[in-house]
Amino acid sequence: MTTPNPYAPPTAEVQDIYDPTGPLELAERGTRLAATLIDGIIFFGMCYFPVLAMIVIARASGQDGEVLVIVGIVAATAGLGVWCWLTIPSVIANGQSIAKRMLGIKVVRTDGSPASLGRIFWLRNVVNGLMGLLPLYQFIDWLFIFGESRQCLHDKLADTMVVKA
């Protein structure tokens, strides 16, 4: 018969738990801008760059470029898959994209509770992207960050805010 060791470390899995009593510190505007730029560069490099590289190679070689463009499209599709594989689990777990994780910030609801993948994807990205088709919307969205709450218009639409992780 074995008895549990009273000096053994706990074996329970620890998860990030929302603490409503803890104050949330808003992310700096510059950090948010840097995260957006870094995420854009990563996404461009993984999804658009392969197609552009194959088009340039096809034009430079003077050969039939259809095969190279198809290779670029396949590589871009694979890049999108890898980007999703890296990003989606982190967004689900912490509300962080690749760059947000690197810079120590995350997206949460305005009450401090975790933001769901659906809220982040649909309201912060898809709806905001569709509204971006309206003239001057993107500019107005960016200007909202200079308010006291540091929330862009897409944050207000999704009832989210970006805080230090």
Contact 50, 75 (CB under 8 A): yes
pLDDT at 49 over 80: yes
* pLDDT, tens only, 111-155: 889 999 999 999 999 999 999 999 999 999 999 999 999 999 999
Q: What is the pLDDT of residue 54?
A: 85
Contact 34, 103 (CB under 8 A): yes
Give residue 130's Cα distance to chain centre.
Answer: 18
Give residue 70's Cα distance to chain centre.
Answer: 28
pLDDT at 67 over 60: yes
pLDDT band at 8 (very low <50, low <70, confident <90, very high): confident
Q: What is the pLDDT of residue 134?
A: 93
Q: What is the pLDDT of residue 61?
A: 82
What does DSSP assign to residue 126?
A: I
Mean of all residue pLDDT scores within the chain: 89
* Rounded alpha-carbon distances, angstroms, from residue 139 to 6, 107, 116, 150: 60, 21, 26, 15
pLDDT at 22 over 80: no
- SS3 label, residue 67: helix
Q: What is the pLDDT of residue 43?
A: 95
Locate the DSSP E strands across 9-117.
Answer: 105-109
CA angle 127, 153, 28 (to 5 degrees): 120
pLDDT at 82 over 80: yes
pLDDT band at 39 (very low <50, low <70, confident <90, very high): very high
Enumerate long-range contacts of 97-102, CB under 8 Å, 24 or more apart. Answer: 97/35, 97/39, 98/38, 98/39, 98/42, 99/34, 99/35, 99/36, 99/37, 99/38, 99/39, 99/42, 100/35, 100/39, 100/162, 100/165, 101/165, 102/35, 102/38
